[in-house]
Amino acid sequence: MLFRIGLYKKKKNPELVKTETWLPGWIQEAMYRELVNKLLYLHFKDDRCKVSGDALQLMVEMLKIFVQEAAARAIRQAQAEDQEKVDIEQFEKVLPQLLLDF
């Protein structure tokens, strides 16, 4: 696995969740940009559609925040259920409100 995001509670404030990545920042940025660009183009019906660099960067940042928030909410849901692991069930429980918030 080339890339993963780790989530863990801070010792001082268990309500806060810190995200950590294991690749240099410039590699992560390039991977995010390439992934988001590919996802956008997969959903375009017209092959002539273009995405500007600023629009792509905005989508990358928005998706990063969305994924981090989803993970943090799933962790809090698992904690509320006294679970030690986050399963898909916790993501399913937090997803409706997350989608409404975004």
Q: Is residue 92 one of the residues assigned to a domain?
A: yes
Q: Is residue 13 one of the residues assigned to a domain?
A: no
| 2 has pLDDT over 60 | no
Six token digits for residue 48: 């002539």
Q: What is the CATH number of the domain that holds 91?
A: 1.10.20
Q: Quote the domain boundaries for residue 81.
A: 25-101
Q: Is residue 15 one of the residues assigned to a domain?
A: no
Q: Is residue 34 one of the residues assigned to a domain?
A: yes
Q: Residue 4: what pLDDT?
A: 45
Mean pLDDT computed over 56-76? 90
C-alpha distances (whole Å) from 73 to each of 18, 21, 96 are 12, 18, 11
Count of structural domains within the chain: 1
Q: Residue 5: what pLDDT?
A: 46
Q: Is residue 10 one of the residues assigned to a domain?
A: no
**Look-up: residue for tokens 């801070």?**
10
Q: Is residue 50 one of the residues assigned to a domain?
A: yes
| 30 has pLDDT over 80 | no
pTM of the model: 0.67
Terminal Cα distance for the chain, rounded: 29
Six token digits for residue 96: 């409706």
Phi first, then psi: give them for residue 5, nearest 5 degrees. Answer: -115, 130
SS3 of 23, please? coil
| 90 has pLDDT over 90 | yes
Q: Is residue 38 one of the residues assigned to a domain?
A: yes
Tens of pLDDT, residue by residue over 34-64, are 889 998 899 888 888 889 999 999 998 898 8
